[in-house]
Amino acid sequence: MTHTTAKASRKRMEAEWNRWAKILRAIAVWLCFAAVGGSAVSAQQHAPWRLVADGDPVEWEPRRALSPDSIHAAAQQALTHFQREGYFLARIDSAATVDGLPTLFATRGAGARIASVRFDGVRAFDFAAFSQSMGTREGRRFDRATLEGDLNDLLIRYERTGFPLAQARPSLTFGYADDGTPTVGIRVQVVEGETLMLVGVELDGETRTGDAFAARAAGLRPGLPLARYDPEAIRQGLEATQLFETIGTPTIALTDSGAVIRIPVTEGPPGTFDLLLGYLPGGAGRDGSFIGSGLLELRNLFGGGRQMRLRLVRNPGLVSSVNVRVTEPYLLGMPLRASVEFAGHNQDSTFSRQRYGVEAGYRIAPGLELLATGSREFVQPGVFGAQIVNGRPRVAESSAIFAGAGVRFRRIDQAINPRSGLLVEAILEQGFRRRTLPASDSGLTEPVNLQQQRLIASGRVFLPTFSRQVLVVGGEAQVLLGGRSAGDDQQAIYDEGDLFRFGGATSLRGYDEDQFIGNIVGRLLAEYRYQLDRTSFAFLFVDVGYIDRPALADFEPAQDVKPGYGFGVQYQTPLGLVTVTYAVNPDLGIGQGKVHLGLSFGL
């Protein structure tokens, strides 16, 4: 909001100031002319005036342009400058040309001390606590800029308390202490006004976003009194939607029926299509191959912030997956985000897996959500996966139900190329799985009931270092633990169809896609970025992956640590946002790295 009440208060204080300081300025200027004695000041026509007080140069810029021979005007502005700082007895001693520049020489004199500070009419909040943060206090040297800042902070506090029409009217009383030091008594009359009815929220700019959705995202409730107005919280609420490229400072506009909050925004594209391509060089008797995935994301459907995501992945070896997710940001008008999801994965002729999931997120603060999840999952063995190894199939048929809870926190300064901020997400799920295993050599089967716990977590911290440079540290982890609820067959706890697949461009860079499987997989990463512009940066990275694989029908148990490293660049082009990464690992030569190319098109 442009603080019109603060400006009005400053105007009143200026009038009060002019009323008391007029005679002092006139006397001081007369003394200036007497001291100068009519001496001529010669200088170039547009040379600036300098000011020296008590022998030291003063940082001073006249409020309006002055010609070199305007001694009277320059002296008045210099005295006004000193008086604003509390030096009411300042005087101009002389004027001269020094090094070709017109110069005023002045004596500040004793600075005025604050004799008393009094605020009348404050009832809406605890003023005693607020006054502890004020710079204007009894016994300190008077400084007009400090007083103006304190009054502005006071009016901002009133705005956030629900009184945007509050006014602060200062008056000054000048005097002298017993020792002759000038003093100032400050009295501020506060008129709190009334709370306003919030009529609505308006987005300024070309936007498809509905005002009702913008109000919910900003944490505002039209039709109710404006009990709290925090421009920064409004900005953060809209920033969390990730729908806007820029968000300006909100302002309050008064209407006959109440207040309208107007927010200047620049909206992002209604959707994006991300294409990730990679080339895996040949080696160990295999040919080089290409991989690819595509992500189509539609944002802000029907102006209500709804989103739909469709991801398709195609990896070597007839491996493919599909993921569809639809999100409603405010279910039934509540701060409750709801998502439904389908995920399918086909691992050549080994197995296929389907997952139907729901997720709900309750917003408790801008960028902070409490999560609840639920899913129904199925695993079907393929021709290869159904083969019996050591008395059991490589992949067993199973079904499961999972439910869980978690937290998500997102607070970054910008979405595409953050310089500072934090991203954290963690979900802990409890599940019950029913697996079908052979009971004997006769080919009969029996169900085995299992309990499983699953943790999925990730985090990033963005730390600004030097100019245009950012250190990014973080990681992610996926953990699956289980136990038998009946029987003693411990090997049935884990199955290849349940485990996480790990490696590749979006997980452990420098390795083949889905090269590793395990019930515990994770990565620590560090990136050092040099920001080229608002959306572009070059980077170096190091990944350290961990894989823990249990005993399976066709695999021995194993634990391993896998490092990867490389470099890349993200760059905004007329075609779209392009990301190129070159990654290697210690087992590869420098010329056998994995090349990944990402393209992001705005729709």
SS (H, E, C) 383-414: CCCCCEECCEECCCEEEEEEEEEEEEEEEECC
Q: Tell me what pLDDT residue 184 has.
A: 87
Residue 485 clears pLDDT 60, i.e. is over it = no
Where exactly are the structural domains of the chain? Answer: 1-195, 198-267, 316-602
Q: Which of 41-45, 191-195, 340-344 has the highest mean pLDDT?
A: 340-344
The residues near 218 (Cβ < 8 Å, ≥ 6 apart) are 201, 233, 234, 237, 238, 250, 261, 263
Determine how β-strand 182-191 pairs with β-strand 113-120: parallel
What is the dihedral angle through the alpha carbons of 127, 132, 137, 141, rounded to the nearest 10 degrees?
-150
Phi/psi of residue 202, each to 5°?
-125, 130
Sheet arrangement for strand 50-53: 56-57, 50-53, 101-107, 91-98
Residue 229 clears pLDDT 90, i.e. is over it = no
Residue 226 clears pLDDT 50, i.e. is over it = yes
Residue 96 clears pLDDT 70, i.e. is over it = yes
Average pLDDT, integer, range 453-462: 96
Q: 3.60.15.10, 3.40.190.10, 3.50.50.60, 3.10.20.310: which CATH number matches 198-267?
A: 3.10.20.310
Rounded CA-CA distance 201/427 in Å is 34
Same topology for domains 1-195 and 198-267, yes or no? Answer: yes
pTM of the complete model beyond 0.95: no
CATH annotation of 1-195: 3.10.20.310
Residue 85 clears pLDDT 60, i.e. is over it = yes
**pLDDT tens figures, 538-566:** 999 999 999 999 888 778 888 999 999 99
Quickly tell me which residue has 């710079």 as its tokens. 135
The mean pLDDT of the chain is 83
Classify 287 as helix, strand or coil. Answer: coil
Q: Tell me what pLDDT residue 48 has.
A: 73
347, 378, 387, 396, 530 from 383: Cα distances, Å: 11, 17, 7, 12, 50
Quickly tell me which residue has 């008590």 as its tokens. 54
Residue 591 clears pLDDT 60, i.e. is over it = yes
In CATH terms, the fold of domain 316-602 is: Porin (2.40.160)
- Answer yes or no: are the C-beta atoms of 246 and 265 closer than 8 Å: yes
pLDDT confidence band for 313 (50 / 70 / 90): confident
> Which of 74, 86, 87 shows the shortest CA–CA distance to 145?
86
Beta-strand ranges (E) seen in 239-305 are: 244-247, 251-255, 258-267, 271-280, 289-301
The residues near 399 (Cβ < 8 Å, ≥ 6 apart) are 376, 377, 378, 379, 433, 434
Phi-psi region of 595 (alpha: psi -120 to 50; beta: other; left: phi over 0): beta
Q: Tell me what pLDDT residue 2 has.
A: 41
pLDDT confidence band for 39 (50 / 70 / 90): very low
Q: Tell me what pLDDT residue 280 has.
A: 62
Beta-strand ranges (E) seen in 121-229 are: 167-176, 182-191, 198-204
- Answer yes or no: are the C-beta atoms of 457 and 356 closer than 8 Å: no
pLDDT confidence band for 23 (50 / 70 / 90): very low
- DSSP assigned state of 484: E
**pLDDT tens figures, 127-182:** 888 888 899 999 888 888 888 899 999 988 888 787 878 899 998 888 888 887 88
The residues near 38 (Cβ < 8 Å, ≥ 6 apart) are none
CB-side neighbour CA atoms (13 Å) of 408: 17
Rounded CA-CA distance 90/104 in Å is 12
CB-side neighbour CA atoms (13 Å) of 43: 21
378, 380, 395 from 497: Cα distances, Å: 9, 8, 6
pLDDT confidence band for 36 (50 / 70 / 90): very low
